[in-house]
A = this chain, B = another copy of it.
Amino acid sequence: MRLALGLLPFLAVGGFVAARSTASPNVHVPVVAYPDGYRAWTHVKSTMIGPSHPSFATMGGFQHIYANPQAMVGYRTRTFPEGSVVVFEWLEMRDSAGAFREGPMRQIDVMAKDPHRFDSTGGWGFQRFVGNSRTERAAAPAPAQCFSCHQRLKKDDLVLSHWRD
């Protein structure tokens, strides 16, 4: 079950990976801020989509999950306090005879906990930033799409990954 949950992002957003279009900020939808300095946050875990995976062309590579200090409280208690931010970083990969290294950035997916601003999506804001951009927000997946799948699994405050002790 843990495997299935861990792989959810690969399944849930697969249909949207190729979408590079961007949306203008909608004043009616609260905006998720770019997570400045997230690479200095705690690295929770990594996964990788390899060449034998059916979605390799659009999703192949490394996925690294980073958590800010508030989110690390959540990873310990499974209740994430306001201010928690989790970043799911997608990198392409390079294959050297079965030894894989990181390639260019595909995008980052951000979850930010603020029950007041994001009450319509379970207290979490969801946003994808395209490539290395700090400002270019992907139109898809829309926050409601992210929320719908996380909510369906209703797992531990909507955060699907786990900290390895």
Name A residues whose Cβ lies closer than 8 Å to a Cβ of B: 3, 6-7, 10, 39-40, 42-43, 45-54, 56, 62, 64, 66, 93-102, 164
Q: Given A3-B94, A3-B101, are A46 and B46 also a contact pair (CB < 8 Å)? A: yes
In the complex, are the beta carbons of A97 and B53 less than 8 A apart? yes
Per assembly, the copies of the chain total 2
Q: Please, how many angstroms separate the alpha-carbon atoms of A52 and B95 in the complex? A: 10
In the complex, are the beta carbons of B7 and A99 less than 8 A apart? yes
Instruction: For A62, list chain B residues within 8 Å (CB).
Output: 46, 48
In the complex, are the beta carbons of A102 and B164 less than 8 A apart? yes
- What are 14 sample pairs from A and B whose C-beta atoms fall under 8 A apart? A6-B101, A10-B99, A39-B43, A46-B46, A46-B62, A47-B100, A47-B101, A48-B48, A48-B62, A48-B93, A49-B100, A51-B98, A53-B99, A54-B97
In the complex, are the beta carbons of B100 and A48 less than 8 A apart? yes
In the complex, are the beta carbons of A43 and B66 less than 8 A apart? yes
Chain B proximity of A160: nearest CB distance (Å): 12
Chain B proximity of A73: nearest CB distance (Å): 13
Q: Please, how many angstroms separate the alpha-carbon atoms of A56 and B101 in the complex? A: 15
Instruction: For A7, list chain B residues within 8 Å (CB).
Output: 96, 99, 101
Q: What would 20 more interface pairs be, CB under 8 Å, given A3-B101, A47-B101?
A: A3-B94, A6-B101, A7-B99, A7-B101, A10-B99, A39-B42, A43-B66, A45-B101, A46-B62, A46-B64, A46-B102, A48-B48, A48-B100, A49-B98, A50-B50, A50-B95, A50-B98, A52-B98, A53-B98, A102-B164
